[in-house]
Amino acid sequence: MPLFSSSAELDESNCRLICPIAAAMVGVCLTGIGILQVAVSVARRSTLADDLLAIDALLFLTAMLSSYFALRLQSPQRLHRLEQLADKSFIAAMILMTGACFVITYALHF
């Protein structure tokens, strides 16, 4: 069995994984923004992290919606395009979240 396949079955399973994980990550971003707002008001220091997490939430929302609509479509071409969008936005959001974690860790300690 090949590692990579272009079948709709594989794409559908990817979308089924991305959709709930990305939706949960939107909640994680919103929770992080809320906690940061409390920390910023107590420490009276502004940080870029809440802005990064807001952008991150939008990227996760894009991943979740594109994977959701990919599951709803019958056209294989649209399925592949939406699945690729879901993959790319999910990976970009995870990278941005890692960057936001570094900002949170080091901005609040200095």
Q: Is the pLDDT of residue 52 over 80?
A: yes
* Two tokens, residue 88: 């790319």
* Collapsed DSSP state (helix, strand, coil) of residue 43: helix
pLDDT value of residue 10: 47
Q: How far is CA 67 from CA 13, 17, 32, in A?
A: 10, 9, 24
Q: Percent of the chain scored above 90 by pLDDT?
A: 11
How far is it, in rounded angstroms, from Cα 10 to Cα 90? Answer: 17
Residue 40 has a CB neighbour count (10 Å cut-off) of 16
Cα atoms found within 13 Å of the Cα of residue 105, Cβ hemisphere only: 6
- The average confidence (pLDDT) of the chain is 77
Handedness of CA 95, 21, 78, 7 (dihedral sign): positive
- pLDDT band at residue 71 under the 50/70/90 scheme: confident
How far is it, in rounded angstroms, from Cα 71 to Cα 19? Answer: 9
